[in-house]
Amino acid sequence: MAVRDDFGEELVRRVERDLTIAWIDRLWSDHLENAAELREGISLRTLGQQDPLAEYQREPGFRKPR
């Protein structure tokens, strides 16, 4: 491949690894932010005397474990 020939195998692998780690980090951060928002919303519903588990399972995107 031309890129590997121009820059070297080691540099290309390092860049690929760094980009992959950065992407995973971004997705994980987004996941944690969404989980925190969901947790806050469920907590507010429990103040309204609603069952937290039932409310969590009603949320869009909830999938029961197999």
Q: Is residue 35 part of a domain?
A: yes
pLDDT at 29: 96
Q: Residue 20's domain spans which residues?
A: 2-58
Q: Is residue 17 part of a domain?
A: yes
Q: Quick one: CA torsion of 30, 33, 38, 40, rounded to 10 degrees?
A: -170
For 5-36, write each residue's pLDDT tens digit.
888 999 999 999 999 999 999 999 999 998 88
User: How many Cα atoms occupy the beta-carbon half-sphere of 41 within 13 Å?
Assistant: 13
For 37-54, write each residue's pLDDT tens digit.
888 888 887 777 888 778
pLDDT at 49: 81
As for how many domains the chain has, the answer is 1
pLDDT at 65: 65
Kindly report the pTM of this predicted structure.
Answer: 0.63
